Structures are given as C-alpha cells and as structure tokens.
Structure 1
C-alpha cells in the first residue's frame, strides 16, 4: 500500500474556541489530502473522466494540535472493491498520533455522474 503525505503548519484560522485545531479543519484536511493524492497518482485522462465523492467519514481524536504545530498528514487506501474505496488518514505531531480518520469514497464517472466500478488500473494507482 502506497502512503502519501503532506505537512500543514497550524495557523490561527485552524483553531477553535479551545485553541485546538477545529474538528471541521481535520475533515477539510482529509478532503484536501485525498484530492492531492488522487491528482498526484492519476493520469490526466483519468482525472478528466472520473472523480470521487465521500460517502462516510469516521474520525478518532487522540491528542490536540495547537498554533504553530507542524502536523504531518499521511494517507493510504486500505481497499477498493466495486465502486467504493476505503481511505485512511493519520495526523501526527512528530511521532505522536493526533487523530485517525477512515473514509469511504465512491468512484464516479464525470460524463454520466454515476458510480463506476473501480478498475484494476485505478486500484494499482494506490498499491
């Protein structure tokens, strides 16, 4: 399984009233890294013909992130079958796990806007 990662520096805009990274921001970061991973791995032809929509999202919070923390965000695809794929996203400060997310995504066809079976070619992008 192929891991993709980015680093985000926590800014004031990321914080909630407790001065921790807001829950909504974590969800946005899940969306952002999934999209970056997809764009990084898929060809222009695939990108022009397909996209993903999030079906479900589960996140576990372990430790807070605060202003100026550098958060390493790692993602990988656990499995893909039929029209859905399960993606994991993990958030770290140094080697400390801050949060972990599991999302289920549906693979879509841009022309007819309908779910599309995930081919071996698409699966291979993330292995």
Structure 2
C-alpha cells in the first residue's frame, strides 16, 4: 500500500524525493485502519487501488483496497499527514498540491 500511495502521488506529478528536496515537505502515515477479508498467497499478483476520500488543511484520507484479480482481499482507510521535513511537524498542504489531488 505504501508503494501504491507513492505511485498515486507520482501520477499527480508529485515526486516524493523532489517534494522533500525542493519544498521541504513529506507525506507520512499518521493513522491506518485495515480490514483483512482474505489472505494473499506467496506470488499472488495483487492490485492496490488508491482513492482520495477527504482532504483537510494538513492531511488527507485515502481509501486503499487490495485485489487479487477481482477478488477483494483488504480494505483500508489511511490518513496521511503533510509535515515539514526538518521539524517533522504538520504543515498545510500547498494549494497547488491540493488542486492536483482534487483532479483524481
């Protein structure tokens, strides 16, 4: 799911390395709730779907689901906070990033 969140941001044109280096910002998981429906098995090909549920000034809520083909294995709600990369304290998500997130 972590990798899928990184790819979700990348699809928006937001690279996490550049975000940290250029803007001194990072997105970090602050809360996650997971409902395991069925187990995955070694070497299963899995798909992780990531959707924006809500946005606040310093954080977003994402719905992430893991599928094996069309079979739902896991449901989760993940709260991701925007933080200052040096102070590790919450900061407001920049308006430009919020506008990109609203497009998906």
TM range (shorter): 0.7 to 0.9
**1:66 aligned to 2:37?**
no
Question: Which consecutive unaligned segments of at least 5 residues does structure 1 have?
Answer: 1-29
Q: CA RMSD in A?
A: 2.0
- Taking the aligned partners of 2:37 and 2:27, their CA distance within structure 1 comes to 28
- Taking the aligned partners of 1:99 and 1:63, their CA distance within structure 2 comes to 7
Name segments (4+ residues, structure 1) moved above 6 Å: none
Deviation at 1:118, TM superposition (A): 1.7
**1:123 aligned to 2:94?**
no
Deviation at 1:84, TM superposition (A): 1.1
**1:38 aligned to 2:9?**
yes
Deviation at 1:101, TM superposition (A): 1.0
- Taking the aligned partners of 2:2 and 2:18, their CA distance within structure 1 comes to 22
CA contact (8 A) 2:20 2:85 kept: no
Deviation at 1:100, TM superposition (A): 0.9
Deviation at 1:47, TM superposition (A): 4.4
Q: TM-score, normalised by structure 1?
A: 0.66
Aligned residues: 98
Residue 83 of structure 1 aligns with which residue? Answer: 58
Looking at CA atoms only, which structure, 1 or 2, has the larger radius of gyration?
1
Question: Which consecutive unaligned segments of at least 5 residues does structure 2 have?
Answer: none
What does 1:94-109 correspond to in 2, within 5 Å?
Answer: 94-109=69-84
